[in-house]
Amino acid sequence: MITLTLQKIIFAILLTLPQYENDINVETQQQHQDRLETFSYAIAEASHESVCENNNNAKFCWTKTELELSMLLVSKAWHETKFSQHVHAGKCNPGECDTVWKTWTSPKTQQQVKYAAYYKARSNWQIHRNSTYVSQEEWKNMSGTSLLSTKTSAIVAARMLGFTYDRCKTLTGAISLYATGKSCKWSGAQNRVWLYTQLLKKANDQEKIEQILVENNAKG
């Protein structure tokens, strides 16, 4: 029998999510699983540190359970970036990560050319630089596939969810305010709540989680 820690439950849940299609030709299956394991440790540690019983900052802590927060973090990152490798590494493509576009004029043709100036959002949780949630040190450490960078991002995302849930008082409202930055209502929230609910249901099924982990170990 497998001892089910929060990290192992999160890892099992991550294994059930389809790999981002563009990553299939970028990383091997083992590399993909290694990244998922990094996410599982980062989310587990961030969830443990962010619940109110372990966090004295009542304004930003999560009032529900570690498991609920961890599944919400999984749902959030999945909807934002599908846990894609290039975003995880801090290498967003133009049009992603809330690209800020600028133009320059070609001296030869006098035509204006549009280019991606910079990206406002970082990490698989698509976090913006905001002094309310993010310190300078956290912003600097947020990009990259290391456990430190991934955990930093997860902690900031958890902090934001704690704040938005406290402000809006509902899960739908918390997700909406996280996404919009200004409103507890947003049309895209329901899909994210649905995924969160499905993941939480699966995470509470010990037999199912054990089966996922055993089958994954059997693959070698």
Give the range among 11-20, 82-91, 130-139, 162-171 with minimum mean pLDDT.
Answer: 130-139
Residue 220's pLDDT band, with cuts at 50, 70 and 90, is: low
pLDDT for residue 1: 55
Closest CA to 132 of 163, 101, 177: 163
**Partners of 115 in the beta sheet?**
102
Residue 124 falls inside a structural domain: yes
Residue 171 falls inside a structural domain: yes
Residue 1 falls inside a structural domain: no
Residue 191 falls inside a structural domain: yes
Mean pLDDT of the 46-57 span: 92
Tens digit of each residue's pLDDT (9 = 90 or more) over 23-36: 999 999 999 999 99
Number of domains in the chain: 1
pLDDT for residue 2: 63
Residue 111's pLDDT band, with cuts at 50, 70 and 90, is: confident
Residue 151 falls inside a structural domain: yes
What range does the domain containing 133 cover?
Answer: 6-219
pLDDT for residue 176: 97
